[in-house]
Structure 1
Amino acid sequence: MKKLITLTLLLLSAVAFAKPPKNQYVRIRTTYGDCIIRLYNETPLHRDNFIKLAKKGFYNGTLFHRVIQNFMIQGGDPDSKDPEKTKLDAELGNGDVGYTVPAEFRDSLFHKRGVLAAARDDNPQKASSGCQFYIVEGKRFTDGKLDTLEKTRLKGRKIPAWQREWYKSVGGVPHLDQNYTVYGEVISGIDMVDRIAAVKKDECNRPLADVPITVEVLSKKECSQLDKLLF
């Protein structure tokens, strides 16, 4: 009996002092493959909101309703689960959850290829949609094109040298920086994004064949294993 009690106490102690994972990861499943995304701790409001909705199953059955090759794929509109609103002639992208998330801009977070970011409407606070998101496919830039972008769309804002290297070698969409909140990045399965971005679509950039989404919040054990691989 004493041995059993001692073993139980040891197990409880091990659980109590086990280190939680440093990062939270989610998996997005589609008919074009899966991807795993690490949510950024630097953007806790967006991270926690996405986890909350994913755990409720909010995203399951929604569509990637707007896709633009060399730019991004967008999803998370609750209207895209409504059969009456998913007819091909219906406009998607206006659904929401009744609240917004305050912008969380960070100089270290930018629109490189593979990042997860929040969609939004045109509002002066640049507050994010409470549910809609996009994943960047992007394209590569030259120094010349980045220089031109700084003078035109960025209104003189300079892109840091280290970010320039990313945009030249990996790609992204630099004109969105400091305008839309970036809050995660694909760490596995970026080819899923490329496949979806390349599908046939209508004049509103909606895929002609629906691309449904399932979002799964990975367990603490899975997150710890990924942390060990990545950090």
Structure 2
Amino acid sequence: MAKRIILLLSFITLNVVAFSQQKNRYIKIETPQGWCVVKLYNETPVHRDNFIKLTKAGYFNKTTFNRILKNFVVQGGDQDSLYEKGKKLNPEQKWLPAELVPALFHHRGAVAMGRDDNPSQSSFSTQFYIVDGKTWTDDQLDMVEQKYHYHFTPEQRNVYRTVGGTPFLDGHYTVFGEIVKGMSLIDKITAVNVDKNGNPDNTVWMKVTVLSPGQTKAVLKN
């Protein structure tokens, strides 16, 4: 019995080590306003693999950033109308189980999946957003904690005070990546003219590609 337990613990340890040593995947998002590079988190494998699969299939290249709200988010992929209840989904469109990791939060530049108000907080597989947000004071963060029953670490508080983000979305939407190069793209996209609903006057198309390790090294080096 003791030998079985030791073998099981060894197996678990090896898997944890392998997971922690797994290299991150990176994708590049190009728009009329410029480009950015996003690191996909290994801690959210379902969302990571879904995004890579759709990217390789060229899915996002047929979509746009259709909802641009300065100081909040830049949203793209599919519009809300494509997954309203009662409508038939395309094969690529499905619900992903939430992967809510407390250490992955909505700081400026974070990339997360959209959803409706479903109780399981499942993500819609083809709609994502990039966080713009704003900076927050400790008093404001205290209010967010009280309202949403969420706790921010000292490190997260410091980021929200200095870098900014959308802390009220933490614990409710799956964050699966972050911009690691080209953060200025957020400012450029949020500078475009939009209507009262955040719909841009001119199409903000996107081209999304998966970078190879060599491409990643080169683009992050320059």
TM-score, scaled relative to structure 2: 0.82
In the alignment, the residues of structure 2 paired with residue 132 and residue 167 of structure 1 have an alpha-carbon distance, to the nearest angstrom, of 24
Matched residue, 1:122: 117
On the 8 A contact 1:65/1:93 being kept in 2, the answer is no
Matched residue, 1:11: none
Shift of 1:103: 0.3
Q: Which is further off, 93-102 or 25-34?
A: 93-102
Deviations 1:99-120 (A, max 9, x none): 1111001111000110110001
TM-score, scaled relative to structure 1: 0.79
Matched residue, 1:93: 80
Matched residue, 1:37: 38
**5+ long unaligned stretches in structure 2:** 1-20, 84-91
In the alignment, the residues of structure 2 paired with residue 45 and residue 21 of structure 1 have an alpha-carbon distance, to the nearest angstrom, of 15
Q: Is structure 2 residue 181 aligned with structure 1 residue 188?
A: yes
Partner amino acid for 1:213?
Answer: M
In the alignment, the residues of structure 1 paired with residue 98 and residue 146 of structure 2 have an alpha-carbon distance, to the nearest angstrom, of 24
Shift of 1:44: 0.3
Shift of 1:21: 7.3
Between structure 1 and structure 2, the one with the greater Rg is 1
Matched residue, 1:145: 140
Would you say how many aligned residue pairs link Structure 1 and Structure 2? 193
Shift of 1:225: 5.5
On the 8 A contact 2:150/2:171 being kept in 1, the answer is no
State how 1:1-231 maps to structure 2 within 5 Å: 22-77=23-78, 92-95=79-82, 97-152=92-147, 154=148, 156-223=149-216
Alpha-carbon RMSD across the aligned residues, in angstroms, is 1.8
Percent sequence identity is: 45
In the alignment, the residues of structure 2 paired with residue 68 and residue 44 of structure 1 have an alpha-carbon distance, to the nearest angstrom, of 28
Matched residue, 1:89: none
In the alignment, the residues of structure 1 paired with residue 65 and residue 34 of structure 2 have an alpha-carbon distance, to the nearest angstrom, of 13
Deviations 1:146-176 (A, max 9, x none): 1122223x2x322221110110011110000
Partner amino acid for 1:27?
Answer: K
Shift of 1:185: 0.3
In the alignment, the residues of structure 1 paired with residue 218 and residue 101 of structure 2 have an alpha-carbon distance, to the nearest angstrom, of 27
On the 8 A contact 2:22/2:42 being kept in 1, the answer is no
In the alignment, the residues of structure 1 paired with residue 37 and residue 22 of structure 2 have an alpha-carbon distance, to the nearest angstrom, of 16
**5+ long unaligned stretches in structure 1:** 1-19, 78-91
* SS, match of residue 81 in structure 2: coil
In the alignment, the residues of structure 1 paired with residue 186 and residue 163 of structure 2 have an alpha-carbon distance, to the nearest angstrom, of 14
* SS, match of residue 25 in structure 1: strand
In the alignment, the residues of structure 2 paired with residue 70 and residue 99 of structure 1 have an alpha-carbon distance, to the nearest angstrom, of 29
Deviation beyond 6 Å, 4+ runs, structure 1 = none
Deviations 1:7-65 (A, max 9, x none): xxxxxxxxxxxxx9711000000010000000000000000000000000000031100
Shift of 1:224: 5.2
Distance change >3 Å, CA 214–CA 226, structure 1 → 2? closer
